[in-house]
Structure 1
Amino acid sequence: MIKTKLFLTSISLVILMLLVKPVVATVYDIESNSKRLIGEPKVHKVVKGDYFQELAEKYDVGFLALLAANPQHDPFLLEIDSEVVIPNQMLLPFISRKGIVINLPELRLYYFSPEESKVHVFPVGIGRQGLSTPLTSTVIGEKRKDPDWRPTKEMQERHFAEHGKYLPDVVPAGPNNPFGKYALRLGTSEYLIHGSNKRFGIGMRASSGCIRMYDDDIKWLYENVPVNTKVRVVNQPVKMSFENGDKQLIEIHQQLSDLETTKGNAILTKAMQRFVGTNRESWQKLLPVIEKPHGLVVELAK
């Protein structure tokens, strides 16, 4: 009887370990320099207890990315047996495939492996409106494990204005540290790629300008990305590609309002107009996506 109970307990633990997966980067093979499409479409069938934040962590995607791809769902009250699109197919940003690339509108970080034709893709949290993560081209200037958090003067003033008291000068490593367990500095600036002591906010605009990651993701980055790795922070809400010379693909994300440089619909760029051309069927398919971007790859009419 005791042996039977121990056996059943062991089986239960194995099943639990298989079901509860740690958050890790999604890794994609890059077939060639001429192709930009990576990943495959995926759909999750909802079971009891599912909600968007849990699914975002399970599949290592951003909360807002899930929301944009599934506007028909209530993110906290998902209907059992309904289907949730997991946005893990994408076009690579239009930039040289080296080091780290952070595309702000899609709230993703790409790390291009220097030794293999692979790219690691992570969801990130970025600066909220009014405190935007800056566009930059720099390097990883420093890596820290168990970093202290020292709020800037601006943070102190904002906190005092909102709460009537100042933050501590230094918050040491531990559960109250907003940096989590690891931090990578962008050049010599005050901006970091770091973990977080809050699960909610990855894949959202929630920080004071730094780039937040899930704990396991930043741990992987800390352990695998060396100091002096190139980092580029870009603003590409629209990504386009001709795959295999004929398949015409486009991916549109919500433009960050405080990074807009033109009036009206900033997404309708000349490059996009040239790419789509005069095909009426393509524009009919695309206009609803321009109006309400969902961040999914769309194949245009031939």
Structure 2
Amino acid sequence: MKTILCCILLCVFLFCPKDSCPWYPRLKKESYRDQAQPMALVGKHRNYLLGPDETLIELARRSGIGYLALLNANPNVDPWLPPAGTRVLLPYAFLLPQSVQKGITVNLAELRLYYLWEEGGQERIRAYPVGIGSEGWDTPEGDFTIAQHIENPSWTAPSTILAAEPGTATSIPAGPDNPLGEYWLGLSTPGYGIHGTNKPFGVGRRVSHGCLRLYPEDIRDLFPRAPKGTPVRIIYQPIKVGLQNGQLFAEIHPDQQQRISDPVAEVLRQVATLPWQGKIDMQALSKAIADRRGVPVAISQN
């Protein structure tokens, strides 16, 4: 009986059917980075059966996944009126970007933030969905550091926002109406930072004025892990490849900025950097490129 009860509690903890679920991988054993295969697949997907009147935007919030990531992973599911009992893939598995580093790495193309740290001589990974800059308010790319570390920040509207959006409040004190949420991690480039939000349904979407928005429980977890001086790398990599148990995987995200003219050539370029020798299933690769679901797909021939 105790064993059954523990299993039930573990399932509630992992799948968070009613309460919001923070960062992932949830299981510690799934969070280790294989240093022998630095571009390895991390984490495991989960399946979820939708209940009556559930929507994908609500499920994204509860499962701790960004809305667009959940939408792309389930292209055949109506996001607003899905039938009860519909099986939904929760995309908790991912391939690491090529230039992931210790500290914080943000991949704008997949709307995901990675935190990499060392524990007991092994590297661990934690991933968080992020909201990024909308068109015309692009989040800057490059290497930065955490320069500000503020709990319960107040918000002062930048002049650029006041000019573009007349009527915006010039300042908002700390509290439930503050768009920065409970925590602010300011970057070394003034005006940009990683923060919480009072509008969590915007996480995992391109809706900000250039900052990086996290779910409230995610920034609460990241804040003490990222003191001043923590390195932050912001990149744009819509195509990733990696290995698991000798099998080759590709993770293809929509190329919002249309930077990659030949996706097949980009996959082959990345594969050439891996310690892998085998044959690529070109049909599987072509389908992954066409679908752009943002989930790891096996592309090696058996």
Q: Which runs of 5+ in 2 are unaligned?
A: 1-11, 273-277
Q: Does 1:239 align with 2:276?
A: no
Q: Does 1:209 align with 2:213?
A: no
Aligned equivalent of 1:11: none
Q: Does 1:286 align with 2:288?
A: no
CA distance in 2, matches of 1:247, 1:111: 25
Aligned-pair CA distance for 1:38: 0.6
| 1:91–1:297 Cα contact (<8 Å) kept | yes
Aligned equivalent of 2:146: 140
Matches within 5 A, 1:37-76: 37-76=41-80
Note closer, same or farther for the CA distance 1:42–1:268 as it changes in structure 2 (3 Å cut). same
88, 91, 104: which one pairs with 2:92?
A: 88
State the superposition RMSD in angstroms. 2.3
CA deviation digits over 1:30-72, x for unaligned, max 9? 2421332111121111112321122112221110001001111
| 2:17–2:62 Cα contact (<8 Å) kept | no
CA distance in 2, matches of 1:113, 1:89: 18
Aligned equivalent of 1:13: none
Note closer, same or farther for the CA distance 1:267–1:122 as it changes in structure 2 (3 Å cut). farther
CA deviation digits over 1:194-226, x for unaligned, max 9? 111112110000001000011111111112222
Note closer, same or farther for the CA distance 1:267–1:292 as it changes in structure 2 (3 Å cut). farther
Aligned equivalent of 1:32: 34
| 2:284–2:298 Cα contact (<8 Å) kept | no
Aligned equivalent of 1:3: none
| 1:99–1:114 Cα contact (<8 Å) kept | no
Q: Which runs of 5+ in 1 are unaligned?
A: 1-15, 161-165
Aligned-pair CA distance for 1:187: 1.2
CA deviation digits over 1:214-241, x for unaligned, max 9? 1111111112222111110011111112
Q: Does 1:158 align with 2:164?
A: yes
| 2:33–2:125 Cα contact (<8 Å) kept | no
| 2:116–2:125 Cα contact (<8 Å) kept | yes
CA distance in 1, matches of 2:219, 2:95: 23
Note closer, same or farther for the CA distance 1:191–1:177 as it changes in structure 2 (3 Å cut). same
CA distance in 1, matches of 2:124, 2:148: 24
Percent identical? 33
Aligned-pair CA distance for 1:85: 0.7
**Structure showing greater Rg:** 1
User: What SS class does the counterpart of residue 137 from structure 1 fall into?
Assistant: strand
Counterpart of 2:248, as a letter, is Q
Q: Does 1:198 align with 2:199?
A: yes
CA distance in 2, matches of 1:140, 1:294: 32
TM-score between both structures, scaled by the size of structure 1: 0.84
78, 83, 90: which one pairs with 1:79?
A: 83
| 1:238–1:267 Cα contact (<8 Å) kept | no
CA distance in 1, matches of 2:85, 2:17: 18
Q: Does 1:115 align with 2:123?
A: no
Counterpart of 1:169, as a letter, is T
Note closer, same or farther for the CA distance 1:291–1:20 as it changes in structure 2 (3 Å cut). closer
| 1:255–1:267 Cα contact (<8 Å) kept | no
User: What SS class does the counterpart of residue 66 from structure 1 fall into?
Assistant: helix
CA distance in 1, matches of 2:225, 2:261: 37
Note closer, same or farther for the CA distance 1:231–1:299 as it changes in structure 2 (3 Å cut). same
Note closer, same or farther for the CA distance 1:80–1:145 as it changes in structure 2 (3 Å cut). same
| 2:110–2:294 Cα contact (<8 Å) kept | yes
CA distance in 2, matches of 1:274, 1:100: 25
CA distance in 1, matches of 2:264, 2:280: 19
User: What SS class does the counterpart of residue 217 from structure 1 fall into?
Assistant: helix
User: What SS class does the counterpart of residue 125 from structure 2 fall into?
Assistant: strand
Which deviates more, 63-72 or 180-189? 180-189
How many pairs align? 275
Q: Does 1:128 align with 2:128?
A: no
| 2:48–2:89 Cα contact (<8 Å) kept | yes
CA distance in 2, matches of 1:61, 1:86: 8
Counterpart of 1:249, as a letter, is F
Aligned-pair CA distance for 1:192: 1.0
Aligned-pair CA distance for 1:19: 5.5
